[in-house]
Structure 1
C-alpha cells in the first residue's frame, strides 16, 4: 500500500520553475495556473527568496510544483492508495484525490495565503522547529510566552511552535539556554494558531459554495489524524487546520495502521520523506522514484 504525501510551506525555493519545467505536464499546468492567478507564477518561483516566501506566493508555487510532480508520476503509471498533506499540502492532496479540480485548488491556496497574510502582517508572526525535546516540556514552555502555540506535531522528536515573532524569538533563545535545538523557519506567518481565526472565517466563505466530491482514496486529515471520505467532513477539517494544530506525526502513525508500506513525497524538497526515513519508515522523494523508473526503462532497452 502506497501513500502520496504532499509538503507544506517552507518547501519553496528560488529556481523551482526551472527545475519543474523539465517535467512533461509543466507547460499545461503552468498555463492553467496563470489563467486562475492572473500573474506569472513561474517568475515568482524563480525570483528572489523574500518575495517567494510571502505566504500568498509560496502556497500556489508549492501547489503547482507538487501537482506537476503528481501528474508526472501518474503519466508513468505510478498508483497510490491513500493521501495526506502537511498543512498547505493537504489542499494538494485533496486535488489529487479528486475532491476538487486543479483550478479550484490553486485558487483556494492563493486565497488562503492572502487571507493569512492579511490576518497577521508579514513579519509579525513566525514559527520555529524544536528538535529532540520532550513534547510535554515544549507544551509547558510555550505557555510562558504571549500568543505562542504548538502548531505542528511533526515527528517523535520534532515539534513546531508558532505565534507572534517576538515570542518565537524569545522562545528560541530560551531553548538554546536549555541546550535544546530550536530553529526559526522561513515562513511569513504564525500558521496553525488562533491568530489566524480571521483567515479561517474568510476561507469559510470561499469554500462553503464549492462542491467537494468524495475522494477516490482515503485522505488522512491534519486536524484529526484519521482517514475521511465524507465531503462535508473534509470541508470542515480543511478549514479547522488553518488556525488549529497539524497532527502530522499522528497522521503518519494512522497511515501505518491502515497498512501503508511506502510513502512517496510529491513536491519540492524532501522535508517529509527525510523525517520519515529518520524515524525508520519506508519513504522516498518522488524524484528517487522517477530515477528508478528511468533506470528500469533503460535496462529494458539495453536488454
Structure 2
C-alpha cells in the first residue's frame, strides 16, 4: 500500500475531452441523482444532461454555474473510486474551486453539502461575473525556477494595480504560473507590458471572474447569506488550504473553517504552490493523486514540487526521471495513470 496526497482540480478542467466523464466514471448513481435533484430544485440543467450532451459547448459547459457542479462531481466520484486496498490517503488539498471538493473528500462537508457549496458559489460567481483572469508563466519550459522573473512579474502586477484606473491582483500562485485577476483595464495593461511567452501567454481564461481578490467581496457576502456554518464539521482527513495551513481531524474549529472558506479563500490570493509544498513536506507521501476531470493540473503540481526542492528535483528533466522511476504523480483523468490507483470500473 502506498501513501498519497489527493489533489482536487479547479475551474477550467472540464472541457471537450471530458464530456461524458461522469457517465464513464462516477461510481454512485444514487449520489449523482441527489446532485441532480439539487440542480433541478434551483432551476438548473442537471449534471446528467450536461455530461451526456451531444456535443461540448464552451458557452454552456464552462459557465461557472455549470462548470463548478460538473467539476465537483467528477472530482468526488474519482475520490470514491480510489482503491483503498492499494492507497492510503494521508491528506487532501485542492486548487482554487478544488478547495470545495477537498472539503467533501476530507469529510469536513458531506458530499451533498460539498456539492451545495461548490454549486452555490459557482452560480454566484457567474451571476456577478466581476472582472476576469489571465495566466502567465514565470518558469521557462525547462521548469527551472527563475525567482527574479517571478519577482519582476509580481512587481509589475502591483504597479498596475496601484493605478487609479486599474485593478490587478495576484489570484493564484500556481506552480510555475501566475494567475492574475482584475478588471479589463488592469488585465489589458499587463498584456501590453509583458513579452509574449511560449507562443500562447499571457492567456485570458474564458468565463473566469476575478477569483481570490478583494473584487469578490460581494460574492463572498452572498455566499455567507446562502450557506450556513452548520454545514461544516471536523475533517476526517487532514486538509491543506490555500494558505498552506493544515486543518487536522479532531483539532479544527468548524466555524473557522467556514469563515476561511467563505471569506479569505474567496477574496485573497490562493497559494497552490505552498499548499503542495506543505503537503509534501508534512506528509511525505509516496505519490500525489490528481483527481479528474482533466489533465492540466499535473504540470503545476510538478512545478510546485520543484519549487519545494522535493526529492532534489530542480527542473523538468529531473521530474520526468522521477516520474518514470516511481510514478510520483497519478492523474485520474489519464487512463493509464488512473488504473494505477482506481478500483476496476463497470465494463472493465
Q: Decide: shared fold, TM above 0.5.
A: yes
- Give the match for residue 115 of structure 1: 124
- Give the match for residue 66 of structure 2: 57
- Give the match for residue 151 of structure 2: 136
* Higher percent of residues as helix: 1
- Give the match for residue 113 of structure 2: 104
* Cα gap change, 1:27 to 1:211, in 2 (>3 Å): closer
Give the deviation of 1:115 after TM superposition: 1.5
Q: Describe the superposition over 1:124-169 as per-residue Cα deviations: whole angstroms up to 9, x where unpaired.
A: x2211111262221222123141110100111x3111011134223
Confirm whether residue 95 of structure 1 aligns to residue 119 of structure 2. Answer: no
Confirm whether residue 236 of structure 1 aligns to residue 259 of structure 2. Answer: yes
Map 1:44-83 to 2 at 5 A: 44-45=50-51, 46=53, 47-74=56-83, 78-83=87-92
* SS of residue in 2 equivalent to 1:113: helix
* Runs of at least 4 residues off by over 4 Å: 74-77, 177-180
Q: Equivalents in 2 of 1:204, 1:237: separation in Å?
A: 11
Structure 2: state its 5+ residue gaps. 140-148, 307-312, 314-318, 320-327
- Give the match for residue 262 of structure 1: 287
Confirm whether residue 127 of structure 1 aligns to residue 133 of structure 2. Answer: yes
Q: Equivalents in 1 of 2:275, 2:229: separation in Å?
A: 28
Q: Equivalents in 1 of 2:241, 2:87: separation in Å?
A: 23
Q: Describe the superposition over 1:27-52 as per-residue Cα deviations: whole angstroms up to 9, x where unpaired.
A: 33321211111132233244411111
Confirm whether residue 220 of structure 1 aligns to residue 240 of structure 2. Answer: yes
Structure 1: state its 5+ residue gaps. 298-303
* Correspondent of 2:338 among 286, 290, 293: 290
- Give the match for residue 197 of structure 1: 217
Q: Equivalents in 1 of 2:280, 2:62: separation in Å?
A: 32
- Give the match for residue 323 of structure 2: none
Give the deviation of 1:219 after TM superposition: 0.3
- Give the match for residue 269 of structure 2: 245
Alignment root-mean-square deviation, CA? 2.5
- Normalised by the length of structure 2, the TM-score is 0.76
Q: Equivalents in 2 of 1:293, 1:262: separation in Å?
A: 10
* Correspondent of 1:5 among 4, 7, 12: 7
Q: CA contact under 8 A between 1:149 and 1:161: conserved in structure 2?
A: yes
- Normalised by the length of structure 1, the TM-score is 0.87
